[in-house]
Amino acid sequence: MASTPHVDPASAPIIAPGHTFRTVTDKIASIVLARRTPLHWFLGFAIAFGIAQLVLLTIVRLLFWGIGSWGVTVPVGWGFDIINFVWWIGIGHAGTLISAILLLLKQEWRTSINRFAEAMTLFAVACAAQYPLFHTGRPWIAAYWLLPYPNTMGLWPNFRSPLIWDVFAVTTYASVSAVFWYVGLIPDFATLRDRAKNKLMAMVYGVASMGWRGSARHWHNYESAYLLLAGLATPLVVSVHTVVSFDFAVGVLPGWHATIFPPYFVAGAIYAGFAMVLTLAIPLRSWYGLKDFITDRHLDNMAKVMLATGLVVAYGYAMEAFFAWYSASSWELFMIQNRMFGPYGHMYWALILCNVVAPNTLWWPRLRHSTAWLFFISLVVSVGMWLERYVIIVTSLHRDFLPSSWGMYQGTVWDWSFFIGTIGLFLTLMYLFVRFLPAISMFEMKTILPGARVEEHHG
């Protein structure tokens, strides 16, 4: 540590010195309340919103032509829809980890990144939801297949199916994340209400704040509810990707039917999520001058979490190969051989390069503390995690037990347009969020300022 020529971020304070209750409030609120929207915002929003139109285009095409416009066919009946679904859901997990688990662990540095990480969770889940919704090509059918409601046909879903568990897990996750986020926003809405110069904005924020006035009696109940939500979100987030992994693990296909799937998927989700948080945090803090709050120490901590979860994922890859060998099952052996050296071998090795080799450069403090390198690595990890889902899904399906039914899979233009479109949708929502809502939790930032804590007197 001492040998590095620059200041070690690990020992730096989590808020730059010199900030008070007033400066923290004004700095964060001014981004939202500024009359002038910065030019780079309009530019970025226009690009993102333009790309998001691909979602509409693809859905219209899908509803007219059916899923024939996608690449899925026998034997690969699960393609981009589930790859992208798992990818987006996984990204969402870091938001809940930061807002709930790190809160329970009293990791105070989480305070400045939890709000936008939670927003990221919600928007990622919104993107993920597009795929199961439209993957049948006839979304109205999904209603009675998936949701238990009394319909005129008298049908009920089959609760023994992991796909139904998935519906319960993901809808609960989306609902609880939204509520958690909103509860966190209530006191900040009150701040915006009191600070807004524009009458209309003051009214909108006032309604959203529900008349919050910062009463000690209210805070007392609020703190209790917030802690309970964190306690509930923690087992929830672990269950969501576990259930997603059950979609595979409960099946009997080689490469899917493995007990390591739940922990390996959860670690992968956090890994991908932290990569996305870094991808968003690095430009956000420099565009809006938030380096006092999202400090180098935050980036350093996130890089370490990413490295640690990356190693868990690497262990998962190693175990997949080991299980295949140790099982002595010819199907399992063939699957891993086909995955590594078959027609999709290049994707497997690209995934190893992205997810195992690249993040290990973060062991070196010099590289870890280079913002540009960290940003690059987080993009590489996002690509790697997408490849991982592609490899798991496609290589297990395309060559199953019967060689006569083997085939190849490739996404079509419409598969890609749907995927790229949801990235546009995600960025559009992020842009709107940064403009209209406080990207950093103001009231929580105040709790970690020096002098905020008052010692309790008893008696």
Partner 1 sequence: MSALYGLMAEFDDPKAVVEAAEAARMAGYRKMDAYSPYPIEALSEALALPKSHVAKICLAGGIFGLAAGYGLQYWSSVIEYPMNIGGRPFHSWVAFIPPAYETTILFAAFSAVLGMLALNGLPQPYHPVFNVPAFAGASRDKFFLCIEAEDPLFDVEKTRAFLAAQPGVAAVEEVQP
Interacting residues with partner 1 (CB under 8 A): 20-22, 25-26, 148, 154-160, 162, 164-165, 168-169, 172, 175-176, 179-180, 183, 187, 190-191, 193-195, 207, 210-225, 228-229, 232-233, 235-236, 239, 243, 246, 443-444, 446-447, 451-458
Minimum distance from residue 233 beta carbon to partner 1 (Å):
8
Minimum distance from residue 266 beta carbon to partner 1 (Å):
15
Minimum distance from residue 236 beta carbon to partner 1 (Å):
5
CB pairs under 8 A, 24+ apart, for 361-369?
A: 362/303, 362/304, 362/306, 362/307, 363/307, 365/1, 365/4, 365/8, 366/4, 368/300, 368/303, 368/304, 369/4, 369/6, 369/9, 369/296, 369/299, 369/300
Minimum distance from residue 139 beta carbon to partner 1 (Å):
22
265 by Cβ neighbours in 10 Å (0-12 / 13-18 / 19+) ranks as buried
Tell me the CA distances in angstroms from 150 to 140, 155, 167, one per residue in order.
Answer: 15, 8, 17
Q: Is the distance from CB of 164 to CB of 146 less than 8 angstroms?
A: yes
Of the pair 5, 18, the CB lying nearest partner 1 is at 18
Look-up: residue for tokens 């970025």? 44
Tell me the CA distances in angstroms from 154 to 40, 56, 102, 163, 229, one per residue in order.
Answer: 54, 33, 45, 20, 36
Contacts of 261 (CB under 8 A, 6+ apart): 245, 246, 248, 249
Minimum distance from residue 225 beta carbon to partner 1 (Å):
4
Tell me the CA distances in angstroms from 116 to 92, 358, 430, one per residue in order.
Answer: 11, 26, 8
Of the pair 106, 160, the CB lying nearest partner 1 is at 160
Tell me the CA distances in angstroms from 68 to 80, 142, 145, one per residue in order.
Answer: 13, 18, 21
Rounded Cα distance, 373 and 377, in Å: 6
Look-up: residue for tokens 């701040």? 191
Minimum distance from residue 25 beta carbon to partner 1 (Å):
5
Of the pair 119, 243, the CB lying nearest partner 1 is at 243
Rounded Cα distance, 408 and 394, in Å: 9
Of the pair 229, 290, the CB lying nearest partner 1 is at 229
Residue type for position 114: N
Minimum distance from residue 447 beta carbon to partner 1 (Å):
5
Minimum distance from residue 137 beta carbon to partner 1 (Å):
24
Of the pair 130, 234, the CB lying nearest partner 1 is at 234
Residue type for position 171: T
Of the pair 204, 308, the CB lying nearest partner 1 is at 204
Residue type for position 267: A
Rounded Cα distance, 125 and 171, in Å: 9
Minimum distance from residue 69 beta carbon to partner 1 (Å):
32
Comparing CA positions, the residue from 254, 237, 100, 259 lying closest to residue 172 is 237
Of the pair 189, 317, the CB lying nearest partner 1 is at 189
Of the pair 176, 267, the CB lying nearest partner 1 is at 176
Cis ω before 75 (30° cut-off from 0): yes
Helices of type H across 157-214: 162-195, 199-209
Of the pair 165, 274, the CB lying nearest partner 1 is at 165
Rounded Cα distance, 120 and 270, in Å: 13
Minimum distance from residue 146 beta carbon to partner 1 (Å):
12
- Encoded tokens for 225: 């509810």
Minimum distance from residue 438 beta carbon to partner 1 (Å):
12
Of the pair 78, 168, the CB lying nearest partner 1 is at 168
Comparing CA positions, the residue from 66, 52, 21, 4 lying closest to residue 445 is 21
Of the pair 5, 455, the CB lying nearest partner 1 is at 455
